[in-house]
Amino acid sequence: MNRILLILALTGLAIVAMAAEAPALPGTSAPAAARVYIISPADGATVGQEFTVRFGLEGMGVAPAGVTREHTGHHHLLVDVKTLPAAGQPIPADANHIHFGGGQTQTTLKLAPGTHTLQLELGDANHVPFVPAVVSKKITVHVK
């Protein structure tokens, strides 16, 4: 049993090491004036456990993931993320990195009571951050 656990642990470490060494993907360039932002809620707002987040974008368009069209991308909502996703790598898909690959421009979010941060990052057709990164200001919401 201990050998099996050791093998699983070593396999997991090997996978993490390989992912960390993954070569960077070519970045898609974004117009210098491109800007993504959170329309609502406002920074510092107190919200219920279920609330709507509306996304704003200037200088670029929105298209579903997989659609390669100049100056278009799709939103990723970063919840309680301290460090931005790595340049040249697909943005992770997990509870803290929420993908909107259908081209959505808003979502209903459910969060536990407490203080949370929200930030948007635009990804290209392959979920890779643009160059330069198109990232919103991080806002704070207080969930009651």
pLDDT tens per residue, range 103-134:
999 999 999 999 999 999 999 999 999 999 99
pLDDT tens per residue, range 25-43:
778 999 999 999 999 999 9
Domain ranges of the chain: 25-143
- Tell which CATH architecture fits domain 25-143: Sandwich (2.60)
**How crowded is residue 60: how many other Cβ atoms within 10 Å of its Cβ?**
19
Q: In this structure, what are the phi and psi dihedrals at residue 60, rounded to the nearest 5 degrees?
A: -150, 170
Strands 106-110, 50-58: pairing kind? antiparallel
- Alpha carbons 91 and 106: distance in angstroms, whole number: 18
Q: Let me know: does 122 contact 101? Beta carbons within 8 Å.
A: no
Higher pLDDT, 76 or 20: 76
Average pLDDT over residues 95-102: 98
pLDDT tens per residue, range 61-93:
999 999 999 999 999 999 999 999 999 999 999
